[in-house]
Structure 1
């Protein structure tokens, strides 16, 4: 049995890109993610690369290439998404949205206070992955 610390998330989503190295650099610039692990594929092969990005010290997301026929970026399948990534922020959601917009994110839904107590916005990255960012305002 593997010992896991209480800081390891139970679930870690993975997103796949045609150009993972460029995507990771964009995710840093647009969303403020921090690279916590970077493994480039052998000989610079981006298909076999693996990156992990930290999110405010409270979670992580993995990013990599399209390493087999069942793992694709939305850019490879006419923009189709089969999952989205939800990120809980702890400060200034509106400023985060503006940072993402300035970096070229397509803002799919502007920041809105939701009836369940969160302020939320949604964005698409350059390859079409959908991201939801939320900040808890109050208990519903």
Structure 2
């Protein structure tokens, strides 16, 4: 990390799920995210949620609610997101304990990172590792 743990990220991956509540449970319980905010519609769908990990965040919502973003995402493919974690092996163990599909076990990479890859309940690919490129504004 670059010491900017308190800084606001400038990129927020946004993911839509058929069952956003189940996705939020998996992301928090199995993959170590913290629920920052969840806003539900009258029908119980997740209108908007924010989950944090370190100084990063993702936004999550339910598919099929209508609106421009929902329409734009209708034909979209799954997403891939990389998340920096301090202890890859402990993070991986937690994911396995919660039944998360592991696509690649913790692996040392040629560029100095240790990563593993998982797939969430709706096919999004998540990579967790130690590689944290310095981003300059």
For the superposition of Structure 1 and Structure 2, which TM-score range results when normalised by the shorter chain?
0.7 to 0.9
Task: Find the partner of 1:71 among 65, 70, 73.
Answer: 73
Whether the 8 Å contact between 1:104 and 1:126 is mirrored in structure 2 is no
Secondary structure at 1:42 match in 2: coil
The Cα shift of 1:110 comes to: 1.0
Secondary structure at the aligned position of 1:111 is classed as strand
* 1:62 alignment counterpart: 59
Partner of residue 18, structure 2: 18
- The secondary structure found in structure 2 opposite 1:108 is strand
SS class of match (2:10):
coil
**Length, aligned pairs only:** 122
Q: Distance in 1 between matches of 2:90 and 2:121?
A: 20
Moved over 6 A (4+): none
- Structure 1 unaligned spans of 5+: 1-5
When the two chains are superposed, the root-mean-square deviation of aligned CA atoms in Å is 2.1
Task: Please name the residue that 1:53 is paired with.
Answer: 51
CA distance in 2, matches of 1:136, 1:51: 26
Q: Secondary structure at the match of 1:87?
A: strand
Q: How far apart are residue 88 of structure 1 and its match?
A: 0.5
1:54: how far off?
Answer: 0.8
- State the SS of the aligned residue for 1:123: strand
What TM-score comes out, normalization by structure 1 length?
0.79
Q: Give 1:122 shift.
A: 0.4
Residue segments in structure 2 that go unaligned for 5+ positions in a row: 1-5, 133-137
Corresponding residue of 2:83: 87
In 1, the alpha carbon distance for the partners of 2:113 and 2:105 equals 13
Where in structure 2 are the equivalents of 1:120-135 lying within 5 Å?
120-135=115-130
